[in-house]
Every structure is written in structure tokens, then in C-alpha cells.
Amino acid sequence: MDSGGLSWGKGTIQVVMIRSAKAMRFAPPLILRTSLFQSPYEFVLYFCERDFSGLSRDRNGSYREMLRSGLVDIKKDDAISLFQSMIRSRPLPTVIDFTRLGITPNVITFSALIDSFVKEGKLKEAKELYNEMIARGIDPDTITYNSLIYGLCNEKRLDEANQMIELMVRKGCDPSIVTYSILINGYCKAKRVDDGMRLFRKMPLRADTVTYNTLVQGFCQSGKLNVAKELFQEMVSIGVPPSVMTYGILLDGFMVDDAWDLFCSLSLNKGVKPDVKTYTIMIGGLCKKGSLSEAGMLFRKMGEDGIAPNDCTYNTLIRAHLRGSDISTSVELIEEMKRWGFSADASTINIVMDMLSSGRLDRSFLDMLS
């Protein structure tokens, strides 16, 4: 049996140079154009991130059977499916299996596979690959550790995630701002925002917008709005630019009057413009306050600013006008919403059903919604 590898050159990439003696008389190995991929790393990630529907068992059998019988003239989609089949198999494929597919496992391959497992919620398998990586003398990099820390945070194993950062440092692998942001986000989701803040204060790197947003959201959700506001003021004062997401988080957490002041300040902040989510949050706040005329004005300003409303915007306004028994405005908004291709959501339908049962709406209103 002949065996080859994965060669990266100008114009093409040659994959799976494995042929049995019987297969030698058939077509040459698959050739993929490298214009599809910028590097071997991108090639591997393309395999890992692609949705996998599985090869037909009746037609192709298991990946080991395919490797044993020889791979010639394999189609690109089948090569991708075969690779995905390998990383989902149990027991895990050996280094020989990957070599037969034309890929010699290295830190890039292992990191891509570990990330794939973590995103599927298979942390145990990801750690098995990490242990195999260490056993083969391959040093994990920041990307490898970030994936594992993300997996630990998803399972709320935050102390272990913190220990992994300490392990990184001991092994001479410097954590990035992404590493710290992953763990801070884990603390916030676990309602341990004060622990996230402590990590934030002691990390040796300058925080970016994403890190600040994570903490601002954490404090807003925990009801510590003053701390959230102080963090926002801090990021502005040290030159970390707030994003539209920053404002959206604050608008969602603040009382309506404070949120309105913040919303108005957006126009003074160069480079940051309200988006549909920001407008909808503010409109929703005004509706909750009962300020329907102001909400309507903001809705019209939204259109003047070239921001198209979405289904959430319409449903927010429709519900508010229904609660206020302003049926005619609700009808106008529903007709406009339908012209845009949107429909009533579950909350709006529930309100309509309640009003129908109490006799406050005519049956024809429900027909109009459908």
C-alpha cells in the first residue's frame, strides 16, 4: 500500500494519497483548489466547523473500512464527512488514521478537534484529546487552552478553569485577553460577578470592549446598576470605545429616565449609532412606562434614521397599544408588520386571546393576525 500526505502548494492541495494495489488503476487522488483555503489551518477548521450529516452506511460503511479499502477519486464533501466521522468516532482515531487521511496531527489539528468537541458539549472527549496531545509531546497553545477553559465554564467548573489559566502560565503559554474574557463571562453567567471583577482587576492585560461589556452586563443582571455605570464611565475615560452592544446592555438594565439620557448621548458619540436592537430596547422601556406617544415618536425617528424595525419592534408596540385599548393603532401596526413579512409572536397572541375571552376584542381581530 502506498501512502502519502497533505501537500500545500500553489493552486492545489492533494489529499488522501492512499491506494490499495487494486485501486491503483483508478483515478488519481482528490485535488482541491487552494483558492478555497488560505492555509492548512483554515483547511482543517473548514472540516471541523462544517455541519455533518454523516456518510451513508449502506454505501460507504465506517471510516476505518474506507481507510482500509483505499481512498481514490473521493469527492470533497465525502472527504469532509469522512473527517467529521473520524472525530466523532469512539474510540478516538489514532494518529495512523489521520495520517491515512493525509493529516499528521499537530497542535493545529489537535486544537481544531478539541474546539469541535467543546462546541458540541463533549468536554470529556476534548480532555482525552488534550491528554493524548501531551502524551505525544505536542505543547498546547493559547487556542487549545481557550477552548478547554470555555468548555469548563459552560459546565460551571470555574475553579478548574481558573486552575487551567494558572497551568498555562506555568507552562510558559501566556493567556490572551480572550482567555480572561472567557472566564470572566463564565463567572458572570454563574452569578459570581464579583469574582469576575476580581479577575478583571488583577489580569495583566488591557481590557477591550468585549471584556467591559461582559462585566457591565453581569452587574446589570445582578441589579448592581451603579457599578455597571461606573465601569461604563471607566471604559470611556481610558479610551476603550463603547460599542452599540454596550449601550444596548445599559439601556436594558437602566431605569427608563437614565436609559433615555444614555440613548440621547449616542448621537454625541462619534462612530456609535443606535441599531434596531437599541431602538427596540428603548421603545420597550417607554412602553412599560406608559409613554406611548414618546415610543411612537422614537419609532418614527427610527425610520427617519434609516433603521428598519424588526418583528420584535412591532410586537412590542402592538402589545403596548392593546394594553392601552388603542385598537385602531394596533390594527395599523399589524397591517404594516404583515407588509414587512413579520407576524405576531406568542406574547402578542396571548394578549389577544385574553382580550377575546374578556370581550374586549372582536373575533375578526384574531383572523387579521393569522
Instruction: Kindly state the DSSP code that residue 361 receives in the 8-state scheme.
Output: S
Which residues does 313 contact at the CB level (< 8 Å), separation at least 6? 276, 279, 280, 283, 299, 302
Residue with cell 466547523: 49
Which segments of 25-157 does DSSP mark as H helices, in order?
40-49, 57-60, 63-69, 76-87, 95-100, 107-119, 123-135, 142-154
* Cα Rg of the chain, angstroms: 28
**Tens-place pLDDT, residues 129-159:** 899 889 989 999 999 999 999 999 999 999 9
Contact in structure between 247 and 263 (CB atoms under 8 Å) = yes
pTM of structure:
0.60
CA distances from 204 to 143, 159, 176 (A): 18, 19, 10
Cis omega (within 30 of 0) on the bond before 105?
A: no
**Tens-place pLDDT, residues 49-81:** 433 333 333 333 455 555 555 555 556 566 666
Pairing of strands 7-8, 12-14: antiparallel
Q: How far is C-alpha 119 from the chain's CA centre? A: 10
Tens-of-pLDDT digits for all 370 residues of the chain?
333 333 333 333 333 333 233 322 222 333 333 333 444 444 444 444 433 333 333 333 455 555 555 555 556 566 666 666 666 665 555 555 665 655 667 888 888 888 888 988 889 989 988 998 899 899 999 999 999 999 999 999 999 999 999 999 999 999 999 999 999 999 999 999 999 999 999 999 999 999 999 999 999 999 998 899 899 889 888 888 888 788 888 878 876 677 777 777 766 665 677 889 888 988 988 888 888 998 999 999 899 989 999 999 999 999 999 998 899 999 999 999 999 999 999 999 899 898 988 888 888 887 887 7
